[in-house]
Structure 1
Amino acid sequence: MTFPPKTATIPDSQPLVPATVAAQIEALALTPGRPLLIADADEVLFYFMRGLERFLDSRDLYFDWRSYALYGNIRHRRDGSAMAAEDLHPLLQSFFAEATELLEPVEGAAAALAHLAGKTQIVVLSNVPLTSKDARARALVRHGMDFPLIANSGPKGPAVAALLERVQARAAFIDDIPHNHTSVAKLAPVMHRLHFIADPRLAALLGRAPDCHHRVDTWDEIRDHVAALLIED
């Protein structure tokens, strides 16, 4: 395993963080020099696809499981046709509004984060709509993951770079989506990047993210990997 340095800096010139995201980051109480773990929520802390399938079924829709993408795989039960692209965003907004607080937690996530929290600071960086941030925060508390939450918008590199700039410390990032790893690799290259997809059906559709450092399959593995990376000398 290759470790980043104990302290880390990021390039001086970074794309601007969206104003709503920057305000959330500014409000965080972060400790400079303390190791930082940044974790996604959907398919990392919560089972997104399980909840989405229930939501789709209630609307006479289903997920086709042909690929990792949502577009093209959400189909009408009546005739098997794919949902129109222009209808996908409103559907997902309705899903987050109705189901965010109801998603099942991923096994082992709360216990692993509790283990790591003693010697790291943990931030949940989720692309949940800002309007559903409070629902996600309540779900985190309910399931034993009461950590600061940022409702991000767009690729995660800008927000991760801003967080890393705040702490200037050894850090790790966990996400299921490859383009988020790419974004972080470009803007915060010293960040150690773990690729994790909780739902095994979804994980089987996608290989290792090209810009991650390591692909992991369980939270027990994440706990041990992050502990070795951020805590143990």
Structure 2
Amino acid sequence: MMQIPDPIPPLPAPVAEQIAGLTIASGQPLIIVDADEVLFYFMRGLETFLAGQGLYFDWASYALYGNIRQRQDDQPLAAELLHPLLQRFFDEATESLEPVDGAAAALESLSARGRVLVLSNVPLSAREARLRALRRHGMDFPLIANSGPKGPAVAELIARAAAPAVFIDDIPHNHASVAKLAPAVHRLHFIADPRLAALLGPAADCHHRAETWPDLRDLIAGLLEAT
């Protein structure tokens, strides 16, 4: 039985404006890809940043809250301090994050088969830094700085494209959001840092979990070949 998508909630105004500014050709397949832990090694950069703040990541679970601890007494960072800390991290470190092995080459190859769009929950204040990092590392693709679950943005993008689409993300709740609002999109789960990947099984709402960008490239090429 065909899955009927849930009603699409309104997009946040900044996200709607960014999508409206894109040129999307009707009928061109979309490859919608996350950035942190998909195109860039988020956790490597975060660990370096935390060390400079007298903090460390505990690696007890996939969550940030509870795993960011103070080095002096091993106590977890207070919940109210987490968001300001992450905002500073994005503002200061976004441009310097290392690119994930094989991502640029895979996307360059795939860009001949579909339109590559980067859909990242990077804060708007760090959007330009992320664009510069993408260009510097050979991934000069349009960037949408999203906020919240990604289903609404993906649903809007595929409505404009009227074409098959593939979604790549590391966060399970983003796969769940896309599954509800854009169920026809093929969802691929990928976590670049092997330490982080070991803490989490395949997302419940993904179609496939991949371990490397060459694996993703071959999967996506096969999916688009079949459509």
Query: Aligning the two structures, in what range does the TM-score lie when normalised by the shorter sequence?
Result: over 0.9
1:128 aligns with 2:113: no
1:54 to 42, 48, 55: 48
State how far apart, in whole Å, the 1-side matches of 2:84 and 2:103 are. Answer: 30
Q: Name the amino acid aligned to 1:106.
A: V
1:182 aligns with 2:176: yes
Q: Name the amino acid aligned to 1:193.
A: R
Divergent runs of 4+, >3 A:
10-13
1:45 aligns with 2:18: no
Per-residue CA deviations over 1:199-227 (Å, capped at 9, x if unaligned) read 00000000010000000000000000000
Per-residue CA deviations over 1:132-164 (Å, capped at 9, x if unaligned) read 000000000000000000000000000000001
Q: State the SS of the aligned residue for 2:109.
A: helix
Q: State the SS of the aligned residue for 1:173.
A: strand
Per-residue CA deviations over 1:95-138 (Å, capped at 9, x if unaligned) read 00000000000000000000000121010000000010000000
Does structure 2 retain, via aligned residues, the 8 Å contact 1:31–1:167? yes
1:204 aligns with 2:185: no
Look up the match of 1:109: 103
Taking the TM superposition and a 5 Å limit, the aligned residue runs for 1:16-55 are 16-55=10-49
Look up the match of 1:95: 89
State how far apart, in whole Å, the 2-side matches of 1:223 and 1:202 are. Answer: 21
Q: State the SS of the aligned residue for 2:69.
A: strand
Are the structure 2 counterparts of residues 12 and 72 from structure 1 closer, same or farther at C-alpha, using a change threshold of 3 Å? closer
Q: Name the amino acid aligned to 1:136.
A: R
Does structure 2 retain, via aligned residues, the 8 Å contact 1:35–1:231? no
Taking the TM superposition and a 5 Å limit, the aligned residue runs for 1:191-230 are 191-230=185-224
Unaligned 5+ segments in structure 2 are none
Q: Name the amino acid aligned to 1:214.
A: H
Q: State the SS of the aligned residue for 2:130.
A: helix
State how far apart, in whole Å, the 2-side matches of 1:165 and 1:195 are. Answer: 22
Q: State the SS of the aligned residue for 2:32.
A: strand
State how far apart, in whole Å, the 2-side matches of 1:46 and 1:134 are. Answer: 15
2:144 to 130, 145, 150: 150
Q: Name the amino acid aligned to 1:49.
A: M
Per-residue CA deviations over 1:52-94 (Å, capped at 9, x if unaligned) read 0000000110000000000000000000000000000000000
Look up the match of 1:171: 165
State how far apart, in whole Å, the 1-side matches of 2:48 and 2:106 are. Answer: 27
State how far apart, in whole Å, the 2-side matches of 1:59 and 1:153 are. Answer: 26
Per-residue CA deviations over 1:183-204 (Å, capped at 9, x if unaligned) read 0000000000000000000000
State how far apart, in whole Å, the 2-side matches of 1:21 and 1:181 are. Answer: 18
State how far apart, in whole Å, the 2-side matches of 1:52 and 1:11 are. Answer: 36
State how far apart, in whole Å, the 2-side matches of 1:138 and 1:207 are. Answer: 32
Does structure 1 retain, via aligned residues, the 8 Å contact 2:169–2:175? yes
Does structure 1 retain, via aligned residues, the 8 Å contact 2:5–2:180? no
Q: State the SS of the aligned residue for 1:195.
A: strand
Are the structure 2 counterparts of residues 79 and 40 from structure 1 closer, same or farther at C-alpha, using a change threshold of 3 Å? same
Shift of 1:166: 0.6
Q: State the SS of the aligned residue for 1:215.
A: strand
State how far apart, in whole Å, the 2-side matches of 1:224 and 1:12 are. Answer: 31
Unaligned 5+ segments in structure 1 are 1-9
